[in-house]
Amino acid sequence: DVKVTQSSRYLVKRTGEKVFLECVQDMDHENMFWYRQDPGLGLRLIYFSYDVKMKEKGDIPEGYSVSREKKERFSLILESASTNQTSMYLCASTADRSEAFFGQGTRLTVV
């Protein structure tokens, strides 16, 4: 079974903190994605990566950065957390042309 693991289910951080969300997949997938999901807005793509050290901006990259130093790990970084970044964050991975597999999600609250 494909497994995508996100480091935390729930996180509470203070405004201005630097926040790291980690995602690891065990199926040697080339492509990895970070989304955030908010009520009424659906899943919005923040960043994605199609290879080690490669990254592409999604639809809402502002305030975020990513790192992919190893194929299995894709990290999302909130440089200076703000309250409008309170959300559910979902990581996904996929091989080319196949369906995506998701991690269990991280519910981040910024206070």
Partner 1 sequence: RKEVEQDPGPFNVPEGATVAFNCTYSNSASQSFFWYRQDCRKEPKLLMSVYSSGNEDGRFTAQLNRASQYISLLIRDSKLSDSATYLCVVRAIQGAQKLVFGQGTRLTINP
DSSP the chain: ---EEES-SEEEE-TT--EEEEEEESS--SEEEEEEEETTTEEEEEEEEEETTEEEE-S--TTEEEEEEETTEEEEEESS--GGG-EEEEEEEE-TTS--EE---EEEEE-
| Binding pattern for the stretch 26-55 against partner 1, x by CB under 8 A and - elsewhere | -----x-x-x----xxxx-x--xxx---x-
Q: How near is the Cβ of 84 to partner 1 at its closest, in Å?
A: 19
Among 75, 103, 108, 110, binds partner 1 (CB under 8 A): 103
Give 25 or 94: the residue with its C-beta nearer to partner 1: 94
